[in-house]
Structure 1
Amino acid sequence: FLSENNAIFLEGFFRFRLKDYFFELKENLEEAIDQLLADKEYQEFIKLLRYFVEIQEPKILEVHVLFYSKEKFRLLDEEEKPLEQEYLLKVLGDLKDEGLKYEDLLLSALITLSPERIILHRSEKTNIVNTILNVFTDRVTFCRDCELCRNMEERR
């Protein structure tokens, strides 16, 4: 543009030549604001869940969480015995019928049980694992190579 012209009218240049640039800039800014608001909302949610965990008496000493896939998990008690489905349903009430995702069910179960220790077996860094870490902080430990982990690996 400047190689063919001696003068530039900034207002016209901004309005016509940079229109696509400003549109893209506006889109990116809106996306960044939305992400910032979502992050703030998530942090407030985590604070609320931490509060629930802190005021609740532990109903169980230890919970082992076995992740079989991204949508399948199993909970075991401190003796490594499965937490019975009936017990979990009684604890969680009718949440399963409300169409909640497995992450919501897992988090609800852990908050309701409020265990003193949570052991995550063979877990990957997923959103639910990060949320569990943020809510239960120092109660969470990771296990990668115990008998339960080896048995899980054999079943895969």
Structure 2
Amino acid sequence: MELLSIGVEENKDKVLNIIYDYDFLYNVDIEEEKIGNRLFVKITTEDKNTSKNDNTLYSMLSMLITEIILEYYIKDIIYKKVFTKYNDLFKEEKIEIGKIAFKTISRDNSLDNEKKLIFDEVRNYINKNDEIIIDGFVNFRLSALNSSLDILIEKSNQKYYEEREYKEFIKILKYFVDIQEPKMDLVNIIMEENNYKLYDQNNKLIENDFFNEVINELSIDGITKEDLLISSIITIAPKNIVIHGSEKNRNDELIKILENVFLEKVTYCTGCELCSLKMNKSKEK
């Protein structure tokens, strides 16, 4: 029984690789036939228990077609749109924006938005048709995707500049750390309920007087706790930093900044006197 015939005109070998490597979860046979400039790949089965009304089977086939469309058609469309829209940018910048957009639309754990739109269109089409010519399908059935891709590309452009600014920010912080002598060998950071405390290598609390000095040096009004933490650590420029607290704190944006600036100087404690102090205070609450 023929389940589906897939016709492609471009990227024939690459599309074949996807199809042959795909885990169908069913006993299927694959046949190739070339007609003119197109390659047709017929997916058939001799399994009598397999029915064209099998929802799981057609969801699987729809995902296969979606992957082919994303990898060898949408990817090309994204880059063409980026290069046309941002013709004043350098080639390397346009490539990075395209990478961000494609990564967003094709991430494995997502069937949302654009990817879901493609999947649903494919599913509806192959439910009614035994053959799908992908080139034509993309050009005529996925035209509604254009506006979504334009929005995605605009967001990817914004994300690219945000990431570039972040890298510049980290670069500046690294520079400030490198040009000054370390004021302490070790700083312990205890994170607790959107707050933090700094201790020296002798587990002695670094007093607020030091923070006030940092604020006076910065001469910035309305400084936040987050700004103060980063500024304090940068000013101290310790040789090593130990972060105490739960695993979830490792995803904290402030911690990520410290990791990017101090690199291998940042380590995590799995249990010590300071950690016990934190736990005891939590129990008292």
TM over 0.5: yes
Q: Using CA pairs under 8 Å that are at least 6 residues apart, name the structure with larger relative contact order, 1 or 2.
A: 1
The CA deviation at 1:95 is 5.2
- Which of 212, 235, 238 is equivalent to 1:115? 238
Contact 1:64 1:78 (C-alpha < 8 Å) held by counterparts:
yes
- List runs of 5+ in structure 1 lacking aligned partners: 1-9
Residue aligning to 1:51:
175
Q: Give 2:272's aligned residue.
A: 146
Identical-residue share of aligned pairs (%) = 33
Q: Deviations over 1:112-143 (max 9, x none)?
A: 01111111111512111111000011211110
TM-score, reference length from structure 2: 0.46
2:165 is equivalent to residue 22 of structure 1 = no
Deviation by residue 1:5-37 (Cα, 9 ceiling, x = unmatched)? xxxxx9xx97xx93x532221111100111111
Structure whose alpha-carbon radius of gyration is higher: 2
Cα-to-partner distance string for 1:50-97 (whole Å, 9 max, x where unaligned): 11101111111211111012x210011111111110122113326596
Match of 1:79 among 178, 185, 202: 202
Tell me if the contact between 1:92 and 1:112 (Cα under 8 Å) persists in the aligned partners: no
8 Å CA contact retained: 2:214, 2:231: no
Provide the residue aligned with 1:92 in structure 2: 215
Correspondence 1:135 to 2:258:
no
C-alpha distance in 2, partners of 1:46/1:25? 31
- CA RMSD, 1 decimal: 2.3
CA–CA separation in structure 2 for the residues paired with 1:40 and 1:122: 30
Q: Which residue of 1 aligns with 2:164?
A: 40
Unaligned runs of 5+ in 2: 1-135
Match of 2:118 in 1: none
- TM-score, normalised on structure 1? 0.81
> d(CA) in 1 for partners of 2:210 and 2:167?
30
Matched letter for residue 241 of structure 2:
I
Mapped partners of 2:221, 2:261: distance in 1: 23
Contact 1:95-1:105 at 8 Å conserved across structures:
no
Letter in 2 for 1:127: E
